[in-house]
Amino acid sequence: MKKRLTLGVAIGSAALLALAGCGSSKSSTSTTTLAFFGADYGTGPANSTTKYWDAIASAFHQANPGITVKVQTVDWTDFPNKVQTLVQNKQFPDVLEGDTAPQFAQSHLLYPASDVLSPGVLGNLIPTFLKDGQYQGTDYGIPFTTSTRALYYNKKIFAAAGISSPPQTWAQLQSDAAAIKAKGYIGYGMPLGSEEAQAEALLWFLGNGGGYVNSSGAYTINSAQNVQTLRFMSKLASAGDTQPSPGTTDRKDVWAQFAQGKIGMVLGSPAVIPIIQAAGVLKTSDYATANVPGKNAPLASTLGVHDDIVAFNTGKHAAAIRKFLDFVYQDKYQLQFDNEYDLLPATQSAAATMEKNLMFAAFLKNIPNSVNYPSKTNWTTVENQIKTTLGQAISSNPQKILNSIQHTAASGG
Amino acid sequence: MPDVAAVRETAGDQRPGAASPGRPQRGGRARRTRRRLAPLAWLGPATALIAVVVLWPIVALVQTSLQRITPIGVTIGAAGTKNFRSLFGDPNLPGILVRTVTWVVAVVGITMLISIGLAQLFNQRFPGRRVTRWALIAPWAASVMMTALIFRWMLQPDNGAINIFLHQLGIVHQFNSNQSSWLGRPDSAMAWMIGVAVFVSLPFTTYTLLAGLQTIPGELFEAATIDGASKWRSYLSITLPLLRPALVVAVIINLINVFNSFPIIWEMTRGGPGYETNTTTVFMYNLKESYIGEAAAMSVVNFSLIIVIVLCYLRVSNWNRQEAR
Amino acid sequence: MTARTAARRRGTTPRRLPTIKTAVIAATAYIIALVFLLPYAEMIITALRPQRELLERNYLPHHFAWSNLTNMWGGGFGITTSLRVSLEVAGGATVLVLLVSLPAAYYTARHRFRGRNLFLLIVLVTQMLQPTALIVGIYKEFLSFHLIDTVWALIMVNAGFNLAFAIWILNAYVGSIPVELEEAAMVDGSSRLSTLWRVTLPLAMPGVVTALIFTFIAAWNEFIAALTLTTSNNVTPLTVRLDMFIGQYTVDWQHLFGASVVATIPVLILFALIERRVVGGLTAGSIK
């Protein structure tokens, strides 16, 4: 009896101690959970971006046990829809990677960048991309990964067609493409399908001194220069110098065909390189990059794109987000991401390190004077219309289509 | 697919034990209460599941169509009828409506015609019938999205298998020409997509008609042959009328599925170029990218159209009911 | 007058003529079956193309990369997990549909009650809708139930959207079973529930099997609700997993097509097992 009593007391007190221990550890630190929602840059479950973020999240948690980051990624095609569903249901993440800031900032949903980044990290960001994520003069969008475009050309096809150097003007591009077509290849790959028509179009518009906005920032989509540019592109297509039906061809298909050695020239970002390597058809010496041709001279400023991180103020986790983002923007993580997906970094220090890699150097040097998409709040709407309808300008009236897009752009504001 | 009118007429009051005199009548009031609550127990779970999963989201959809929502999803206020007015004022809409009608009529019509023939064929006895019937299932078992993707793959201008075949036949003269870009031209794209839609609709339709054929007693045909009727005549006057209920069912199911069809057009052309190969269902998805409220309005319009189809169906099957007698 | 009738009149039955007709029919059927299988054969062939031969202009590649089919089973791809999830969702939805629709169908077939037509009409209307339009509302709902990112959410959504067809088929089947059989059993002393189990259900089995296969296929291939309602890797079904092969810059065609062939196999097996039952099932449902 006594033994049982002693045993009972022992067990009881052990239990009490255990409970007390649990209780005390719980009350000493409060755990914050951050919800992270990002885009998937991979091409399959094997190189999904979830792995990248999961690794950062667990390393961060080890360094900061009081903060847990829950990671969720969605592939790019479904990304806008998923974000829309979340926002409509007021299920805001704390950190969102992959979208642009102005619209969220307009709805007062975001922390300014200075609230969620240490000054050192903020100052390390590449200025031209940071400026692009401003709304009413305050930084909201924090560039995470960037990219610029150049002209890729197939040196083997060029040799077969008797072309000695890459084209610098539109006229040269036209004659080169015709020569390549005569040899049985596709001259120039022009993707104006709904995947990314706005990028291809802008690179052409810039070549003629046009663009989406003028120097004071007002929309000038239906300018005379842009119409002229589209007429030229249409001529190229109808002469057969491009792949058939540019208005419905996507960038993915054109890049894949270039990687398989079927196309002579294509505009692309560094991401084309791993596609070429995976295809195994072209050797490194078989292709090269050059500046994007313009009407009378190569482009002085090419298209620069960036995917931003924005921090939502709905969860009121500013301090935790700041710790997390400072952690994320370390050089090693920037470089890891950019090497994995062949994109460019958003921080100056990482860019400096990457310049040592010859393949990226050509793209990196174009960053400082690159042109970005307009950072207006209705740009998403305008962009969607460009993606859907611009391809038609190849086969029908460009003025009418550009007028319609300009109308949407001007009325939104 | 049972038709509502038929069930209404033939079911009657078939409660087992309702009219048998031998059953002892248990306590009146308790029995009446139990009887009144009985439907709840039997129908409750089904009603609850439908109400939760389907009916409530419909309410949410109608609400959304009356609101102003930014492209990222933030609701900024009520819109009244503005979404509907913008929708009906959209210059692309008339063309899309016409195309939707063409799409539905063409796909359903062609599917029905071919299915009647296929059902007749597969109703015959021949060696290997089981295996060929099983092959017929493939488009039904595979997801429509993947079937659409493989057709898009086969139609590539440079190296698609269909283009290779047509080139060998001499129909396609040159690869990478406009001619070989079947999905790049709106008219040929629509034709091919109609073909794919027929392809994925044939299995279900054929099996429905096959089932119908197999219930027709063979004696009817023997009697007709003895009377001197030709094969064609007995087909028209015996087979088709008895097949009518199955035909009506197949038509209605196909009408609804084809009207709501999304993956084929989305995967093959995204509705492009522009909106030139869009139907109303795909257009709704297009709108959703920038104009959420208007997309919801389009869904409401689609929903109303479907209900109209439902009402037509009920009327047709009722009329049909008298004929079959 | 067919050759056979003429031959019979003559008093002799030539053995070869019926075979020619059968042969022609069989040949036609084989060709049609081949046409139906061709796109899926192309899928497999493309899945086996090595990367450098992906865009070559030929029917068959020079080399077959069998590794494309075997290496997708690795942990990184998650195909096996998704296969399991898809089986759970499709199987669960099918079971739920049968559990819920059987009582409802039985009751509407056997009783005439107020609201019966309204019930059947509402059921009919839900058959006409697809998740694509309603997805935001569905997300909101399951959010409030705290069921986001669970297999249960998918089971419920798929069951809800396929309930109508099941109720109809079973309604017709139970309606076609003579009520006298049930009455006889009940007079012999069995309860209503056990009558349902031992008498009605076996006779209604073709209808049950039909509802089963339709729901299974629909739930197996469902995409948009699965995409919206799931986030973590261990609850993504096959349809969503396959979508991951479509990346931002490239499409992994080989794995996409290879995995989708794998995704079709369970359905084909199920179908092969119950094909005969399906034909029987559709009969009673449509001919009334």
A305-337: pLDDT as tens digits? 999 999 999 999 999 999 999 999 999 999 999
pLDDT at B27: 57
The answer to whether the CB of B264 falls within 8 A of the CB of B191 is no
**Tens-place pLDDT, residues B244-294:** 767 777 787 788 888 888 899 999 999 878 899 999 989 988 898 888 889
| Candidate ranges B36-40, B80-84, B237-241, C177-181; pick with highest mean pLDDT | B80-84
Q: How far apart are CA A80 and CA A74, in angstroms?
A: 9
Give the position of tokens 């063309």: B95
**Are C161 and B147 in contact (CB < 8 Å)?**
no
Kindly list the residues from chain B whose CB atom is less than 8 angstroms away from the CB atom of residue C242: 146
Which residue of B42, B158, B208 is in closest CB contact with C104?
B42
Tokens of B170: 């001499």
Mutate to test the interface with A, among B72, B76, B193, B262 (most CBs of A within 10 A): B72
Confidence of residue B324 (pLDDT cuts 50, 70, 90): very low
Which residue of A45, A252, A281 is in closest CB contact with C77?
A45
The DSSP code sequence of chain C is --HHHHHHHHT---SSHHHHHHHHHHHHHHHHHHHHHHHHHHHHHHHT--GGGTT-SSSS-SS--THHHHGGGSTTT-HHHHHHHHHHHHHHHHHHHHHHHHHHHHHHHH---TTHHHHHHHHHHHHT--HHHHHHHHHHHHHHTT-TTSHHHHHHHHHHHHHHHHHHHHHHHHHHS-HHHHHHHHHTT--HHHHIIIIIHHHTHHHHHHHHHHHHHHHHT--HHHHHH--SGGG--HHHHHHTTB-SS-B-HHHHHHHHHHHHHHHHHHHHHHHHHHHHHHHHHH--
pLDDT, average across residues A188-200: 94
Kindly tell me if the per-residue pLDDT of C174 is higher than 80: no
**Are A262 and B269 in contact (CB < 8 Å)?**
no
Which residue of A84, A243, A248 is in closest CB contact with B72?
A84
- Measured between CB atoms, does A355 come within 8 Å of chain C? no
**Tens-place pLDDT, residues A164-173:** 999 999 999 9
Count the neighbouring beta carbons within 10 Å of the beta carbon of residue A359: 13
The 3-state secondary structure of chain B reads CCCHHHHHHHHCCCCCCCCCCCCCCCCHHHHHHHHHHHHHHHHHHHHHHHHHHHHHHHHHHHHHHCEEECCCCCEEEECCCHHHHHHHHCCCHHHHHHHHHHHHHHHHHHHHHHHHHHHHHHHCCCCCHHHHHHHCCHHHHCCHHHHHHHHHHHCCCCCCHHHHHHHHHCCCCCCCCCCCCCCCCHHHHHHHHHHHHHHHHHHHHHHHHHHHHHCCCHHHHHHHHHCCCCHHHHHHHHHHHHHHHHHHHHHHHHHHHHHCCCHHHHHHCCCCCCCCCCCHHHHHHHHHCCCHHHHHHHHHHHHHHHHHHHHHHHHHHHHHHHHHC
Complex ipTM, two decimals?
Answer: 0.83
**Are A248 and B184 in contact (CB < 8 Å)?**
yes
pLDDT at C92: 96
Kindly tell me if the per-residue pLDDT of A143 is higher than 90: yes
pLDDT at C132: 74
Kindly list the residues from chain C whose CB atom is less than 8 angstroms away from the CB atom of residue B124: 22, 25
- Measured between CB atoms, does A255 come within 8 Å of chain C? yes
Kindly tell me if the per-residue pLDDT of A288 is higher than 90: yes
Tokens of C251: 């499409």
Shortest Cα–Cα distance, B1 to chain C (Å)? 5
Confidence of residue B19 (pLDDT cuts 50, 70, 90): very low
Give the position of tokens 């479907």: B306
Q: First and final CA of chain C: distance in angstroms?
A: 34
Q: Which residues on adjacent β-strands are paired with residue A311?
A: A95
- Measured between CB atoms, does A155 come within 8 Å of chain B? no
Tokens of C171: 């309604």
| Nearest to B110, CA basis, from B176, B243, B201, B35 | B201
- Cβ within 8 Å of residue C150, ≥6 positions away: C235
| Nearest to C269, CA basis, from C147, C90, C137 | C90
Q: How far apart are CA B171 and CA C236, in angstroms?
A: 44
What proportion of chain A, given as a percentage, has pLDDT over 90?
Answer: 73
Kindly list the residues from chain B whose CB atom is less than 8 angstroms away from the CB atom of residue C29: 121-122, 126, 128-129, 132
pLDDT, average across residues B43-60: 88
Confidence of residue B26 (pLDDT cuts 50, 70, 90): low
**Are A43 and C249 in contact (CB < 8 Å)?**
yes
Alpha carbon B293 to its chain centroid, in Å, reads 26
Which residue of C54, C241, C246 is in closest CB contact with A45?
C241
Which residue of C78, C249, C251 is in closest CB contact with A45?
C78
Higher pLDDT, B318 or C119: C119
Taking any CB pair shorter than 8 Å as contact, residues of chain B touching chain A are: 69-76, 156-158, 176-178, 180-181, 183-185, 269-276, 286, 288-292
pLDDT at B4: 40
Chains that contact B by 3+ CB pairs under 8 Å?
A: A, C
Kindly list the residues from chain C whose CB atom is less than 8 angstroms away from the CB atom of residue A275: 249-250
Count the neighbouring beta carbons within 10 Å of the beta carbon of residue A365: 12
Kindly list the residues from chain A whose CB atom is less than 8 angstroms away from the CB atom of residue B276: 392
**Are C249 and A252 in contact (CB < 8 Å)?**
yes
Kindly tell me if the per-residue pLDDT of B38 is higher than 80: no
Tokens of C265: 């196999």
Mutate to test the interface with A, among B182, B290, B294 (most CBs of A within 10 A): B290
Confidence of residue C237 (pLDDT cuts 50, 70, 90): very high
**Are A244 and B71 in contact (CB < 8 Å)?**
no
Q: Identify the helix (H) or strand (E) that includes residue A404.
A: helix A398-412
Higher pLDDT, B312 or C107: C107
**Are B272 and A245 in contact (CB < 8 Å)?**
no
Mean pLDDT across chain B = 82
Mean pLDDT across chain C = 82
**Are B70 and A107 in contact (CB < 8 Å)?**
yes
pTM of this prediction exceeds 0.80: yes
Higher pLDDT, B8 or A378: A378
Kindly tell me if the per-residue pLDDT of C270 is higher than 60: yes
**Are B7 and C260 in contact (CB < 8 Å)?**
no
Q: How many angstroms separate the Cα of A231 from the Cα of each of A55, A120, A194, A228, B261?
A: 49, 48, 19, 5, 36
Kindly tell me if the per-residue pLDDT of C29 is higher than 60: yes
pLDDT at B7: 37
- Measured between CB atoms, does C12 come within 8 Å of chain B? no
Burial state string for C206-236 with b = 16 or more CB within 10 A and e = fewer than 16: bbbbbbbbbbbbbbbbbbbbbbbbbbebebb
Higher pLDDT, B33 or A122: A122
Confidence of residue B226 (pLDDT cuts 50, 70, 90): confident
Tokens of A390: 């611009």
- Measured between CB atoms, does A244 come within 8 Å of chain B? yes
